[in-house]
Every structure is written in structure tokens, then in C-alpha cells.
Structure 1
Amino acid sequence: MKIVVRVKLLPEAGQAAALRSTLRTVNEAANWVSGVAFEQGVPREYELRKHTYAELKARGLGAQAAQHVIKKARDAYTALKANIRAGNLGKPGSPRRAKAESKPIRFRPEAAQPYDDRCLSWQYDTATVSIWTVSGRLRNVRFACSPDVLKTLRAHRKGESDLIERDGLFYLFAVCDVPEKPVNENPSGFVGVDLGIVNIATTSTGYRAAGRGLNRHRARQLELRRKLQAKGTKSAKRLLKKRSRKEARHTANTNHIISKTIVTTAERTGHGIALEDLTGIRGRVRLRKDQRTSLHAWSFHQLGQYIEYKAKRAGVPLVYVDPAYTSQQCSQCGHTDRRNRTSQATFECRSCGTMLHADDNASHNIAHKGVTVWITGRESRAPATP
């Protein structure tokens, strides 16, 4: 299983200038390659190399750097084509799709640049790297990371690493090939996980991750952004830049904590995990205007990804189930009626009289479906990226 770990580079002033100049140079070259690809009708990578490699070498790029620039530009068009095919940019003729198809792809000056082992080497004992730049090879560039990340790098790093500049700081994102544990083929049951906005995750084992704190944090961040954007001064813009991605980092940290709790519980009890397949839910649900912000800020896909990769590392079986009627069906008698859901938090069965928290009831239904999917041998599938 491939995972990505991040380390922070701690370059000296001269090293930082060389890294910054390198990113500007390679991304300017990538923009030129992208323009050539657009003019040539986006040929295959080998054909594109014929049109661009010599010029890239003349611009001062090394052989491997030139190859990576060409591949980066070609991969960007592959991703664009996949998004168009999936309908992520709208229907044919829509303004967004027409804009994407009418001009070459552009790369930001600080966009990521891939490095392989010929351009980048790691010295784990001294916590330094040696990295290619347009100013020559930089040696003894220090990096910082947690002990767990360093252990993972030392044991499992394999493949390319991306150099990224973010808010004046430099990071390396390294690919690690971590072996998966053998999957437990005989789980003693399944932990059903009901995902929501009011409660981020509710499991059939009784664990509930309330969303009140996260929703309050989002509301505070939204209000602060509104005030700073309305003010429009230089200091307000500096503060907006400083606080950028703060909400995303907080959400990701919360989802990591929740997913670790769920997977650890399943591993300890010998259970599998059953998740709802919520693909396309934003397009299916109709909400009032004041509720749309909460829906589109709902990070169910990220939480599902975290649970999935942690489950693979722990050898915990994972299945995706159809979420239809899980909130309307009684987990005790199986009676299904939309009137069973008397409120957001209350479930009261019209047939047997069972009263439960609505999310607890849904999580039990998901757990039952997970057992069914596992026993019948249906192929579970990870939902596509929304």
C-alpha cells in the first residue's frame, strides 16, 4: 500500500533561494511544454518529448528534471481528460468546460516538482537530503519530521518525492510503500459507521464523534474570512493568507483522530468495518440555501479515505454498503417507514415501538448490511472521488 509522508525542509538562506529559483524555472518550463502540447493536440509523452526535450536541456534543466517536466505536463492533460469524461467540469458546451478546453494548462510558480532517486538522496542518520537545483547539487539540506515519519521513511520509502513551496516554506512529500497486514477473513462481526454533519461518525459499538466543535470552528473561520475580505486592507490580506488552509488542517486532524479510533476498535475486537457508499450525495440531496454551506463543507470522503487506508494497514476488512433506508429502517424488527424518523436525533419504530438515537439505529443497520455483503461475497468497491 502506498502512502505519502511529509517532511519540512530547513534550508539555509542560500539553499532556500536555490530551491525557490528551481521551482520557478521548472514550472515556467512546464508552462512552455503545456503550450506545445496544446498546439500539437496533446500527443503521447514520447512524441511530446521529441518536440520539447532539446529546448528544456538548453534552458539549463538536467536530463531527469527535463523528463519530469514533460511527464508532469502530460499527466496534467490526462487528469483534465479524466475530469471531463467524468463530468466534473460540466456538460459539453458549459462555460466551465469550454474554458478548460480552450487554453493550455498553467502551473503556478511554486507548484510541485517531482524528484526521483537520481535527483534526490536521503541521509536519515543526519536528517539531511541532497537535491538537484538549477544552481547545482545542494548537499546537507536539513529536514524535520516526527520519529514515526522518519521510521517510515527509513523502512518503506520507495518512488518519487515532490518538492513544494507553501507560504515561503519548503516541503518534501515522499511516497512510501508500506506492506499491508493480511486481512482477517473471519471477522466476528462488523462495526457499522454512520456518517453525518451533526455527528461526524456514529458507530454500532457506541462511539459517537460529535460535529458541534468542528461546525463551530468552521462557522468562526467563515465569519472571520468575511470580515477580513470586507475590510480589504493590506494587513487584512496578510492575515487571510496567514490563516489560509487552517480550517482544512483542523478538519483533517479531526478526521485522523476519528478514523484511528474506529479502526483501532475494530482491530482490537476482531471486527470488520462497514461504511456507507455516499458517492454523489451532494447532487442527490436538496437543501435550503442556509444549509448548503454545511453540506458542501462535509468531509465524508476524506474521513472514508482515512478509515480505508488505516484499515488496510491493520488488516481490518472493510466493505461499502448501500445507504438507502438506513435511517428509516428499524434495526430491531426491520420495519421501514419514513415516519419512524421523528426528528434529526430521534428514531421511534411505528411497528415494535423501539426508541433509539437515530444515528445509533442507522449504524446498526449499516453493520447488518456489512455482514450481508461479506457473507454473500459481493465485491465491495471504494466510491469514486466526488
Structure 2
Amino acid sequence: MDQSIVIKYQIKPKSHTDEKSLAQAMEQFRLACNYISQYIFEHDFERSQTKLNNKLYHPIRDKFGLKAQMAQSAIRCTVARYKTVKTQLARHPFCYDTGKKDENGKPIWKSIPRDLNWLGKPVFFHRPQLDLQRGRDWSYQKDNQISLNTLQKKRIIADLIEPKGFKQYLDGTWKLGLAKVLKVGQKWYLHISATKTFSDYQKGQSQHVVGIDRGLHFLTTSYDEKGQTAFYSGKKVMQIRRKYKRLRAQLQSKGTKSAKRKLKKIGQRENRWMTDVNHQLSKTLVDKYGSNTLFVLEDLTGVRFATEQHDKDYRYEDVSWAFYQLEQFLTYKAHLNHSEVVKVAANYTSQRCPKCGRINKANRDHHKHLYTCDKCGYSTNDDRIGAINIQLLGTRYISGNDQPRFVKTTDSE
């Protein structure tokens, strides 16, 4: 199993001339990506690297002055962006109210899968960037220096700023690949992809099986094979998100250019903060349970968080947390620690009594965050119920059931 990560470092070009060379190359690379994106959009979302090379390689080099490998990287970068957009569209189907109601009088919603044909315009690259292939376009020099290609004949040299831990990726076990040059404010950054081969995770090596329920009252609730439960509160997260919401409302009411610029900065700041929280949470989970752990999550693909069921004043912060990002972070951190993440069906995990198997939606009180079984009387936190049931599905997975799920039968009613 190959695990890829991105290592991020700040760099400092040697001179102002070098900075201008980098900025020029980044802008031309961005324009080339938009040119390729327009072609892909107009040709039925063609994403074959070979076909795009045959059609666009020479026009890209002539029109934007990119070097040979840079032209290839621009095509690869644009194709990768369309693949990402395709995945995002698939994870968020179009949902609409059918106008019908179920036996409880609630609206019946229907979802339609989305693909690239739902795009109304080509993917657009706003931020200048530059993708460089190791060996051809960039290389590591002695004394923590990086050699980078630009549009000029001579390479430029940049210093790595505080490259803590960088040399661990030069021990021969990691394969360094594409490097992306970015500029944020007045600072330059280099994002380097690194890949390492790990042995495939075997079910038999699992020393811990941990069920993780993701939510908003508690961002995660974990339950292990020893019956231990750990909660990660989302109260502070909710307070901070409401603060950002109030600030955005104030700026939107002004409508000035400076307010719009401030809005953009706030959005970026909030996203960085959310990413940091998910990083800390995933690291906490991996460190808590150690290596050889099977983390079990619900498969939330296509699951719609019904916004109409949330209070209007708190709807935004209630339904827009980055659960998928948390899943991605936990997955790669688990792989680096010789562990694994598996997703199981979400059916009835929050409605099933783990003691008697009774499945009843009415047993869960969302306002009190309490689950009380109407059959056996078992009662506990509703998020803990979800984690217990998810952990049980993980145990069944270890036992040989590759697609464990709960099914509502007459015995469970």
C-alpha cells in the first residue's frame, strides 16, 4: 500500500530577480491551466493525458512559454482538478422535495447523482501556482537549499526556512515527487508530495477496534473493544463558528469593497482554523489508540444533512462542518501508524439498542442527546449509542463480514 502526504515548507528566493522569475512562471502556468480547462470543458470533459498531450502540448508551449515538463505538469494538474470536482459532485447529489409526505407527515426528499455535466462553466484557476517535477524541474541541494526551474534558462536557488524534519524524507524510504510553488501574501511556499510503501493492513493484526461517531454536539465519540468511551466536545467549535457568522453578517450588510475583501480573508481564516481542528482531532485519535488499530466510521457518502430540520438561526454552523476532511486526515495518519480506517453502512446506527437489538427511531431524543430503549430500558448518550453500534460493525468486519450492516426485521421492532 502506497501512502502519499504533502510536506509544506516556506522558502526564500535569493534575490528580487528570482522572485520576479518565479512569479512570472506561476502566472503563465495558471493561464495554461485555464486554457486546458476550457478545452476539457468544450470537449465532453476529455481527461485522457495522452489525447490532451497530442492536442495541447505544442500550443501550450508556444502560447505560454512553458518548458517541456511544465507543459506536461499543467495538463496533469488540470486533469487532477477535474477528477477532484467529479468526486465532490458525486459526494453531494442534488436533493429536492418531491412534494409528497411519508406516514409521519414529513416531506419525502429524492436525490439525483451529479457528474461533470452539471458544471455550467469550466473549472477556473484563480491563484498563481507552479508545478515542478523532481529531477526535471526541482532538486534538493546541500545546506537546505532548493533548485527550481522557471521560464528562464538558468535555475534559481531558494533557501528552506526552518526545514524541521525534512531530512527524514531523504532516508530512501520516501519517494519525493511533484513540488508546488505558492505565494501567500509576501511569503513563498513549497508543497512537496512524498510517497512511502507500507505493508497492507491485515484484519488479524488488529489489537483495537474503535467505532467513531461524528457529530456536532460532540465532533467525535469513540468506543473501543474494552467498553471505553471518549468524547471530543464541539461546544467551543460551535461558539467560534457563530462568531464568524455574526462577523460575516455585519460585513455583508455594509457591502463596500473593503468589506468584501475582509469577507474573503475571514472565509480563508475560518477554513484554516477548521482544518487545524480536524488535524488535531485525527492526531489525538491515532495517538490515543496506537498502532494496529482499526478505526470504524460510518459511510456518509450521499447522506444529506436535512437543513430544514435545523433552527434557521443556527443552520449554517450546524450543517457545514468538514466531516469528510476529518475522515481523510484520520485515514492517512492511521496508515502512517500501521493502522487502518474502514467505512461501514450508516443504517440504524443511531436507532439501534446495543443491548437488546431493538431498532426504534423514536427512542432517540435529539434535544436531550439521550437514547432510551422502550423495550429493555437501556439508556445512554445518543452519540455513544452510535459509536457502540459502529464498533460492533467493525467487530463483524474483523470476523469476516466485508460489508456489515444493521437490518430492521420483525425481531428488532
Same fold (TM over 0.5): yes
Instruction: Tell me by how many angstroms 1:20 deviates.
Output: 1.2
Q: 1:190 aligns with which of 209, 222, 239?
A: 209
Question: Which residue pairs with 1:384 in the alignment?
Answer: none
Q: Residue 207 of structure 1: SS of its match in structure 2?
A: strand
Alignment of 1:62-101 (within 5 A): 62-76=67-81, 100=119
Question: Which residue pairs with 1:177 in the alignment?
Answer: 195
In the alignment, does 2:323 pair up with 1:300?
yes
Q: Structure 2 vs 1, CA of residues 198 and 90 (structure 1 numbering), >3 Å: closer, same or farther?
A: closer
In the alignment, does 2:160 pair up with 1:143?
yes
Question: Which residue pairs with 1:22 in the alignment?
Answer: 25
Question: Which residue pairs with 1:57 in the alignment?
Answer: 61
Give the conservation status (yes or no) of the 8 Å contact 2:310–2:318. no
Letter aligned with residue 303 of structure 2: I
Alignment of 1:147-162 (within 5 A): 147-152=164-169, 155=172, 156-162=174-180
Distance in 2 separating the partners of 1:333 and 1:99: 46
Higher share of residues assigned strand: 2
Question: Which residue pairs with 1:327 in the alignment?
Answer: 350
Instruction: Tell me by how many angstroms 1:300 deviates.
Output: 1.4
Give the conservation status (yes or no) of the 8 Å contact 1:115–1:163. no
Alignment of 1:1-386 (within 5 A): 1-11=3-13, 12-36=15-39, 44-59=48-63, 60-76=65-81, 100=119, 104-108=122-126, 110-123=128-141, 125-144=142-161, 147-152=164-169, 155=172, 156-180=174-198, 183=201, 185-204=204-223, 205-267=228-290, 271-282=293-304, 287-288=309-310, 290=312, 291-342=314-365, 343-378=367-402
Give the conservation status (yes or no) of the 8 Å contact 2:30–2:126. yes
Instruction: Tell me by how many angstroms 1:308 deviates.
Output: 1.4
Q: Deviations over 1:174-222 (max 9, x none)?
A: 1111233563624345111111011000111321100011111111112
Instruction: Tell me by how many angstroms 1:294 deviates.
Output: 2.9
Letter aligned with residue 253 of structure 2: A
Q: Structure 2 vs 1, CA of residues 148 and 187 (structure 1 numbering), >3 Å: closer, same or farther?
A: same
Give the conservation status (yes or no) of the 8 Å contact 1:15–1:138. no
Distance in 2 separating the partners of 1:372 and 1:90: 33
Letter aligned with residue 359 of structure 1: D
Superposition CA RMSD, Å? 3.5
**Which stretch has the larger CA shift, 31-40 or 171-180?**
31-40
TM-score (norm 1): 0.83
Q: Residue 107 of structure 1: SS of its match in structure 2?
A: coil
Distance in 2 separating the partners of 1:38 and 1:279: 26
Where does structure 1 lack aligned partners over 5 or more consecutive residues?
381-386
Q: Residue 376 of structure 1: SS of its match in structure 2?
A: coil
Question: Which residue pairs with 1:383 in the alignment?
Answer: none
Question: Which residue pairs with 2:101 in the alignment?
Answer: none
Where does structure 2 lack aligned partners over 5 or more consecutive residues?
97-112, 405-413
Number of residues of Structure 1 aligned to a counterpart in Structure 2: 377
